[in-house]
Structure formats: C-alpha cells, structure tokens
Amino acid sequence: MATPYITVNPTGYSNPYISRKRHAFNDKRLENVRIMYNNRLVQSQSSVIESAAKNAAEAVSIKRFLVNKKVRAEELIAKSCEISKEAIKGQRLIVYGDTTNFSLKKQVAFLKDSEKVGYLDDNKTRGFHAHVNLVAKQDNEHILGLSDIILAMRPIKNYKNRAERSRANNAQPFVQKESYKWVLGVQNSLRVLKSAEQVIFTFDREADSFDIFYHLKEEEKADFIIRAKHDRVILQNGKKKKVSEAISQTEVLGKYKIEVKKQNHRSKTERKQVTRKKRIAKVEIRAIEVKMPPTTRFNKGKQNVQLTLVEVRETGNKASNVENPILWRLWTTLPVKTFEAAKKIVQFYKWRWNIEQLFRIVKKKGFALQSTKLGTFEAISKLTIMVLKSASIILQLIRARDDQNSQPIEDVFSKEEIAVLEKLNIPLQGETELLKNNNPPDRLSWAAWIIARLGSWHGYNSSGLPGPKTYKRGLEKFWVYVEASRIL
C-alpha cells in the first residue's frame, strides 16, 4: 500500500498545484487570519491556540480557519513555501531535506477523522511524518525559508519480520514507495526555486537509494549530495567492487581540521541513541568517480548512474579514542577534481545541521505541537504546516545573530515593523561600545539584536549568544509594541 501524502503536488509527478488568481483560499478574510496566526505562532512559539491567540476572539477565528474547507492544506504549503523572487533570482542555493515525525498517541482517540492518521516507525504509535526542504545560499549559509513540506501518513505494515517487510517493499514500484517523498520534494522545490542559477540538494543516509539517485540525476536533472548508508557494489573501471574497497585504494586528496558539532539524538538509521561531544577533528579526504549499477527487478533496463564519492575519515591518535569517529561517504553529482572542491562538498553536508535545528525548535523549544487539542487530523495537519513556517523564521533570527553580513531585514519584517524596531533600538542600547547595536540597519542581524535584548539578553557576547527561548520572549514583547503603534 502506497503512503498517502499531503503535498503541493498530490499525484507525485503531474498536475502541479496552481495558486488562486485573486485571494488565497478565495477569501481575503481567511488570508488575513492566516497572516495573523503566523505572527502569533512566531510570537508565542506555542501551537496551543489559547496560548498563541491574543484574546478569545482571535482563538475562535484561528479554530474556524483551521477547520474551514476552503483552507486546503496544499494551498497552505504553497503559501508557507513562498520565497521572494529577489532573494532567489540568479542565486546559487543549497536545499537541506529531512523527515521528522509527530506522535498523536494522546489525541487519536478524540479525533473525528482518526482513520486518516498513520503509524510511526514502531508500527504501533499513531502519528504522521513531515518531510521538509529548507533553503539557504551556498556562499554564506543564509536561510531563505522553506521550499517544500510533505506530510506523509504511513499505513500499518503487517509483516512477520524485517526480511518479509524488505521483500514487500522491493516488490513495489518506486513511485508507490514512501522513499519517493525525496524525489517529490525535489520536484516541488525546483518549481519554487526555478529562477536560481544552481540548486544543490543535501540529504542524509535515509536517501541512499539507487531509485533516488537515478530519478534525481537522470529524470529531474538535479544536483545532490547524499550521505552513503550502504557499502554497496559499484563499478570502477568496469570492475565490480565494494565502495569501501574502491575508496581505500584511492590516494588522499588532502588533510585538514573540521569542527564536529555536539549530538544527542536517536538515529533512525542506526536505530540507537547517538551521542557525541563537540570537538575539532583531523580528517583526510578521498574522492573517486564510479558507476552505480541498477538494483531490484523494477530497475532492469536502466542505465548505470555516474557519481562521485567523497570520503571524509577522521585520523590521528585521538580518533581511536573517540566513540564515533568521523567517517562520512558522500555521493554527489558534482565534479570533484581538487582538494578544495572536495572540502566544499563536505562543508555543504555539514550545513545540514540547519534542518536539524529547525526540527529542534519545533519539538523542544515550546511549540508543543503534540499537545494541541484540535478535534480533527485535517486541522492538525494545517497547524503543522504553519508551525514549520514559523519555526523557520525563528531559525533565521538565530542564524542572523552577530552576523553583520546576514540577509536583508526585508526578508522577515515589513516596513511597518522595521519602523517599530528603529524606535526600540535607541533605548535598548547602552552607553558603552560593547552595548551598542553595531549591525547594519538593513541586515537581519540588526533586528535580531533588538529582539534578543527585548527577550532579556544582556547584550554582551561574552555572556553567550541568545537562543530560541530568548527570541520567543523578545518576539512576544515586540509584537505588543507593533500592536500599540497601530493604535497610537
């Protein structure tokens, strides 16, 4: 049974969604409620409507919006994945894609349409998956927003063991598999980012599949970087070899040091808790060009996929004492002829932490999506889309902090809101240079400094940079000032 999707492109490969000609949802009032609720979500970082709404009347409006049949989840996705043409045109972009899940274990018994809710990885807990694509610039890692959201409802799988599950999965055509979401997300994103000069998609090990490689390169003509999960058989100079054997016989391109970020999460790929301390690691890089032969009977007749494999391996005496030493093997369509080109591939992969930070903001920093009391899954799915969009704005502020070359302030705030920020900036500054907002006023870092100060940040980098909770408090106060400016 194929996984049901909620997506801008419901069929997966045809009939792309076309936005309304006049007002979103064919109703200007509904669009105004959407804008208001997006602001409230950013302010409060809570998906509990009573906490996000300013008053009882707003709470009623929001609930009616989420259950209104005119408000289609597909259109909400399209609205949430709009990025200004000025920010995209002629740019070289990178798109981070990943999937997270949301448990509805507590809510499912009370949902009127509970039959629409799928199952999580344990095949027992009711819930759904969100597959998200996040866009940034290649030259400076500036976050531009979301390019796609796919909500996937996984049906229950009645298999006796993993082997039976694997055989059943391999017997399905690729377009009916859950893994097709990676291709579907690329299709939707390419439409949003069509005016960009270059788009590179960066995925983790879940996307290590011949089907995905073939469809992205040969059919979508898309560039990608995907971390290898399997030590698969490849063709090198016409000979079959394991990836590990082929790469070990290749000369080292160069050695350098990279910063390894702290980790503490449960890995779906490794099926265990992964912990790692922040450190500086010495690594060496190798790269080879190989051909990947087709797999499964559905791929018979398809040509080999020509790819480059970049390996990053931690070396030195300290590597043997590290619990999880670095070993990344990265498949890419990009040419890697030099050490610098290989380092760039590694850098793009490292930037994947941005989408992990996005999910962290949604789940661990106050949105409380899994505590919502909405009565239908349809309403919860719409709320999820709006929460993901709001979390991306919080992420933009975090990324902009203390970065004088951050993205333009107009990417996030309106002219009216910028005018309020200008008034707030003066009293929030101190008498010393250390407590001045020295960021350029046309950059998002300038606004991020002001909002962090409103959120009770001391203003000194020595006391630590502001985090999501600080921005939550600051935004709550900021929007009060915005509302007051409209009255006074």
pLDDT band at 322 (very low <50, low <70, confident <90, very high): low
Residue 454 tokens read as 């409103």
Which of 280, 282, 257, 185 shows the shortest CA–CA distance to 226? 185
Domain total in the chain: 3
Identity of the highest mean pLDDT range in 115-129, 310-324, 326-340, 399-413:
326-340
Residues across the chain: 488
Of 338, 368, 400, which residue sits at a domain end?
A: 400
232-243 tens-digit pLDDT: 999 988 889 999
Same domain, 276 and 297: yes
Cα 337–342–343 angle (5° rounding)?
A: 145
| Residue-level pLDDT at 20 | 37
Residue whose C-alpha is closest to residue 378's, from 69, 25, 2, 13? 69
Q: Which residue has the higher pLDDT, 95 or 48?
A: 95
Residue 277's identity, in one-letter code, is K
Residues 361 and 462 occupy one common structural domain:
no
Q: Are residues 236 and 274 in the same domain?
A: yes
pLDDT at 309 over 60: yes
Query: What is the pLDDT at residue 320?
Result: 59
Residue in the structure block whose two tokens are 């400016």 = 485
Residues 191, 222, single domain; the answer is: no
Closest CA to 225 of 246, 199, 250: 199
pLDDT at site 321: 65
Pair 308, 434 in one domain: no
State how far the Cα of 454 lies from the Cα of 471, in Å rounded to an integer.
8
d(CA 172, CA 410): 46
CB 152 within 8 A of CB 178: yes
Question: What is the CB neighbour count within 10 angstroms for residue 415?
Answer: 7
Q: 20 with 2, same domain? A: yes
Mean per-residue pLDDT over the chain, rounded? 83
Domain shared by 180 and 190, yes or no: yes
Q: Which pLDDT score, from 0 to 100, does residue 100 have?
A: 93
Q: Do 290 and 393 fall into the same domain?
A: no
- C-alpha 288/C-alpha 245 separation (Å) is 11
Reported as a pLDDT band with limits 50, 70 and 90, residue 161 is confident
| Residue at a domain's end among 362, 379, 400 | 400
What is the domain range of residue 458? 401-487
CATH number for 330: 3.90.350.10
Domain end call among 311, 332, 351:
351
Per-residue pLDDT tens over the stretch 245-288: 999 999 999 999 988 877 665 555 555 666 667 788 899 999 99
Question: Residues 387, 408: one domain?
Answer: no
Residue 299 has pLDDT above 50, yes or no: yes
| Per-residue pLDDT at 444 | 92
Q: Which helix (H) or strand (E) holds 306?
A: strand 305-314
Q: What is the pLDDT of residues 89-142, one digit of tens each?
A: 999 999 999 999 999 988 888 888 888 899 998 888 999 999 999 999 999 888
Task: Tell me, yes or no, whether 53 and 134 share the same domain.
Answer: yes
More confident residue, 261 or 471: 471
**Looking at residue 459, which CATH number applies to its domain?**
1.10.740.10
Pick 487 or 349 by higher pLDDT.
Answer: 349
**CA–CA dist 223, 125 (Å, integer):** 36
pLDDT at 395 over 60: yes
Mean pLDDT lowest among 57-71, 114-128, 263-277, 415-429 = 263-277
Rounded to an integer, the average pLDDT of 285-296 is 90
Give me the pLDDT at residue 16, please: 39
Same domain, 54 and 128: yes
What's the token pair of residue 356? Answer: 């992990």
The pLDDT value given to residue 46: 62
Report residue 368's pLDDT band, with 50, 70 and 90 as the boundaries: low
Q: Would the pLDDT of 342 be above 90?
A: yes
Most confident of 106-115, 306-315, 448-457: 306-315
Residues above pLDDT 70, as percent of the chain:
84
Contact 93, 136 (CB under 8 A): yes
Residue in 121, 73, 67, 70 with CA at minimum distance from that of residue 99? 121
pLDDT (mean) for 41-61: 67
Whether 394 and 406 map to the same domain: the answer is no
